[in-house]
Structure 1
Amino acid sequence: MYSFLSLLFSFAAIAGGLILFRRWRYRRLNLPPGSLGLPFIGETLQLISLYKTDNPEPFMDERMKRYGPIFMTHVFGEATVFSADPDTNRFILANEGKLFEISYPGSISNLLGKHSLLLMKGNLHKRMHSMTMSFASSTILKDHLLADADRLIQLSMDSWSNRVLLLEQAKKITFDLTTKQLMSFDPDEWTESLRKHYVLVIEGFFAIPFTLFSTTYRRAIKARTKVVEALTPVVRERRKRSEIDGERKKDMLGAMLASGDQFSDDEIVDFLLALIVGGYETTSTIMTLAIKFLTDTPLALAQLKEEHDQIRSRSKPGAPLEWADYKSMIFTQCVVNETLRMANIIGGIFRRTTTDININGYTIPKGWKVFASLRAVHLNPDHFKDARTFNPWRWQNKSETTVPGNVYAPFGGGPRLCPGYELARVVLSVFLHRIVTTFSWVPAEEDKLVFFPTTRTQKRLPLIVKRREESSHCI
């Protein structure tokens, strides 16, 4: 008993000493207001427990009321400055590679690979980011990506009957479209097998990055190996064909093989692996949340149906969507904007300071993490009236359609602006067109949003769907 009390006293003394030393050290710096919490643990437990509520930003809300839009805390083992200030967020995003550098959990870095676009730096990142954006440009979207999206979405919906888990269906659609864009593959048994491995890889993103302690992470590492084993022969075969007969398909793999950078097979595989993750997870979730918001807002759904029924009335039955159809989707774009505002899949971005930084009168020490919260800005009533209410009509107002880029930033910004931002908008618009003109639906059971570690629906949005000509009793 005496030994236990002695040990407990020693631990308390060490913890108290650490707190006093930390206060003395940081008092010399003009740090943002806030609390670093307990040694080692910080405020991590508070952050995780608060996000179990229905509030999309409980951790940010509580501290912003107390400290303002910029505050310090200590989460996931590191001192971190959080920002919900639009100008500060823009400063962080714009100074990527200068004052800040990327910083992601080890689990994500290990599973994506060191050659992924997410982890690239410097000139190589600039070149690859530019190449990726070129494959989702307006010209390519108009020439063939719109048609690919329309065809693959209809192909997937052909199998819908009675009850569907919308998130699962949306993920299949986005995976099929991404593999088509990157490697020119149409859906088949090989792509479906690859997708199942990807599901396991993504599950490991927020696991403890040690195979000994985490079954989820161990399973994700094995799944990543399977993905690499599937992609590597594809890359080798395409390289062989391009060298022998000059064959070059108009996809991302073809562009990488034809570039002057002489990428190795391993580099190309890492690059493709990460791009598939990006297209698969984020766009599919946005598609699902759009339907969730519309289902909960019948007036918006009715107006959206009216717009798309008018588009269909101008075309022959079964005709594919044309670029002019997409450009005529005025209210649809309001729905897209509002969905993106309400449902940032990633609440913000982490960066690490490369030097002491003075910003807004505060000093952020070198080596600290910063978190630019995009969602907290989007949900701030100072920037959007009734900010936590889904209201697509707000985007018809001149004041909101001209909102500054630092206030509305669903795709990030700066050198790491999401390269597929325009493609995501097109895919979501086409998906909305096909689902509202083909189906009526009601929720199969109550579902709600979850906001940590990413925004999603708790039960993958189960719906009872019927083709519109079959029933008029659904939504």
Structure 2
Amino acid sequence: MLLFSLLLSLFFLLLLLLRSTARRQGRLPPGSLGLPFIGETLQLISAYKTENPEPFIDDRVARYGPVFTTHLFGEPTVFSADPETNRLILQNEGRLFESSYPGSISNLLGRHSLLLMRGSLHKRMHSLTMSFANNAIIRDHLLLDVDRLVRLNMESWSDRVLLMEESKKITFQLTVKQLMSFDPCEWTENLMKEYMLVIEGFFTIPLPIFSTTYRRAIKARGKVAEALSLVVRDRRREVEVGEIKNDMLAALLDEEGGGGGFSDEEIVDFMLALLVAGYETTSTIMTLAVKFLTEHPLALAQLKDEHEEIKAKRGENEALQWEDYKAMCFTQCVVNETLRVANIISGVFRRAMTDVTIKEGYTIPKGYKVFASLRGVHMDHHHFKDARAFNPWRWQGQQNGLGATSATNMFNPFGGGPRRCPGAELARVELSVFLHRLVTQFSWEATEQDKVVFFPTTRTQKRYPITIRRLKRGVEE
């Protein structure tokens, strides 16, 4: 009891010092730091485990405005649901702000992950990743793999499909293929089982003694890292004898092509983080796109018309080509709207490198954690009419090429600035191909009222079962 009282006193002393420092440096945005130690972390996590995560943001924006102070994952944090402030945060990476994520994420991804890298190393790795997922690479190389693996998985579908599970299987296989050239096999299945345990550890309290989920995730992370390390060592030996593959790992090992010079640990951390980026997010968007289309028959009908027209030109068994993808205009409206309404990357964490003055004369003190809430902007009625409604038609007439929008500071599902997701276009391609094969090969209906949560990194997530019927020449068999 005495120890607890002492710790409590130290905590409140720390808060007083922080507040005193903030007052000297400038005026902090209004808000509440919540409970000792825990802050408001539990409220944030519990909100995102429901179908409606908005109250955490809504309640505080109504009380304090779109920029407020809170306490998340062990640190005082300035939370922004303001597009202007978010743009300032995203565009000033390495100058005013630097990447900074909770310990639960840092420990599971590894210190050499792209998410946590800073400075020149981040620029180098981000550029390397961009060069391997640009439009030319997708068009000439990756699109065929995406289409082939989507069709391969759908061939086994019958009757009742657990869509979230099937989507995760597809995106995991696609990411492993892109990274290491492995086709689906027993090794990839075993890797996926361990990897799913790693994913569950995100956004938990990073203390193994208190969290069995986090303890299990750390153990699984070690197994995944060990498996990837063996692959890296094997590939180094292959490179020495002149065997070169066309994948991301080859680019990391290529001394002449901008890669090379990385340790095995750096490559493993990097690939593990790319598995996160390519697997969990895209699979969830796939599932939610189908959920929203099921609930909006007019949108589904227009999407089917678009893809049936593409299918008629291409043929049922022919692989999709780049021009087919570029013809999927309404599909991109569906993709945009799904990303706006339900992107699980709800925001990005940064840390202030210096005192930063923002709107209303508030100051973010040096060293303060910052959370730029992308979802907070996407779901704000001031920025999008009827923001909580799924309406893909809102994007018609606003496109400048696939997926582009004039309101660049309002719609940022892939982040922004120097850390914008390098796989953004590939994610769009994967989702578009998935929808094409789904709507041209199957009809379906949701078999039960199954909730799909917007924070799907916990054991409470649902699998969204659907009953499917295979189509033959556009008609149910």
TM-score by length of 2: 0.91
Deviates more, 1:309-318 or 1:323-332: 309-318
Name the structure 1 match of 2:86. 89
Name the structure 2 match of 1:381. 381
Name the structure 2 match of 1:199. 196
* Residue 364 in structure 1 maps to residue 364 in structure 2: yes
1:461 corresponds to which of 454, 461, 464:
464
Equivalent-residue separation in structure 1 for 2:4 and 2:110 (angstroms): 43
* Residue 248 in structure 1 maps to residue 244 in structure 2: yes
| Paired residues of 1:208 and 1:214 also in contact (CA < 8 A) | yes
Equivalent-residue separation in structure 2 for 1:378 and 1:455 (angstroms): 24
2:452 corresponds to which of 424, 449, 453:
449
- Correspondence 1:122-271 to 2 at 5 A: 122-244=119-241, 246-259=242-255, 261-271=260-270
Equivalent-residue separation in structure 1 for 2:436 and 2:471 (angstroms): 13
| Paired residues of 1:345 and 1:456 also in contact (CA < 8 A) | no
Name the structure 2 match of 1:300. 299
Counterpart amino acid of residue 253 in structure 1: L
| Paired residues of 1:92 and 1:100 also in contact (CA < 8 A) | yes
Equivalent-residue separation in structure 2 for 1:343 and 1:71 (angstroms): 23
Deviates more, 1:196-205 or 1:53-62: 53-62
1:404 corresponds to which of 389, 407, 410:
407
- Correspondence 1:116-127 to 2 at 5 A: 116-127=113-124
| Paired residues of 1:449 and 1:457 also in contact (CA < 8 A) | no
Unpaired runs of 5+ residues, structure 1, are none
- Correspondence 1:91-106 to 2 at 5 A: 91-106=88-103
Equivalent-residue separation in structure 1 for 2:18 and 2:225 (angstroms): 45
Deviation at 1:9, TM superposition (A): 9.9
* Residue 439 in structure 1 maps to residue 436 in structure 2: no
Equivalent-residue separation in structure 2 for 1:148 and 1:19 (angstroms): 53
Name the structure 1 match of 2:419. 416
Counterpart amino acid of residue 157 in structure 1: M
Where 1:465 maps in the other structure, the secondary structure is strand
Equivalent-residue separation in structure 2 for 1:15 and 1:232 (angstroms): 41
| Paired residues of 1:167 and 1:284 also in contact (CA < 8 A) | yes
Name the structure 1 match of 2:309. 310
Q: 1:100 to 1:198 in 2, by over 3 A?
A: same
Equivalent-residue separation in structure 2 for 1:13 and 1:136 (angstroms): 52
Equivalent-residue separation in structure 2 for 1:343 and 1:229 (angstroms): 34
Name the structure 2 match of 1:345. 344
Deviation at 1:55, TM superposition (A): 3.0
Where 1:340 maps in the other structure, the secondary structure is helix
Q: 1:85 to 1:30 in 2, by over 3 A?
A: same
Q: 1:52 to 1:158 in 2, by over 3 A?
A: closer
Q: For each residue in 1:284-334, what CA deviation from the matched residue of structure 2 results, as whole angstroms up to 9, or x when unmatched?
A: 111111001101111000111111111111123311111111111111111
TM-score by length of 1: 0.91
* Residue 68 in structure 1 maps to residue 65 in structure 2: yes
Where 2:349 maps in the other structure, the secondary structure is strand
Deviation at 1:451, TM superposition (A): 3.2
Equivalent-residue separation in structure 2 for 1:111 and 1:269 (angstroms): 12
* Residue 77 in structure 1 maps to residue 80 in structure 2: no
Deviates more, 1:208-217 or 1:171-180: 208-217
Deviates more, 1:82-91 or 1:99-108: 99-108
Counterpart amino acid of residue 373 in structure 1: S
Q: 1:239 to 1:31 in 2, by over 3 A?
A: same
Deviates more, 1:84-93 or 1:428-437: 84-93
Counterpart amino acid of residue 136 in structure 2: T
Equivalent-residue separation in structure 2 for 1:20 and 1:100 (angstroms): 24
Deviation at 1:15, TM superposition (A): 8.3
- Correspondence 1:313-332 to 2 at 5 A: 313-332=312-331
Counterpart amino acid of residue 310 in structure 2: I
Deviates more, 1:203-212 or 1:322-331: 203-212
Where 2:421 maps in the other structure, the secondary structure is coil
Where 1:450 maps in the other structure, the secondary structure is coil
Name the structure 2 match of 1:395. 395
Deviates more, 1:125-134 or 1:396-405: 396-405
Deviates more, 1:102-111 or 1:372-381: 102-111
Deviation at 1:373, TM superposition (A): 0.5
| Paired residues of 1:73 and 1:82 also in contact (CA < 8 A) | yes
Equivalent-residue separation in structure 1 for 2:114 and 2:197 (angstroms): 20
* Matched residue count: 469
Equivalent-residue separation in structure 2 for 1:9 and 1:266 (angstroms): 42
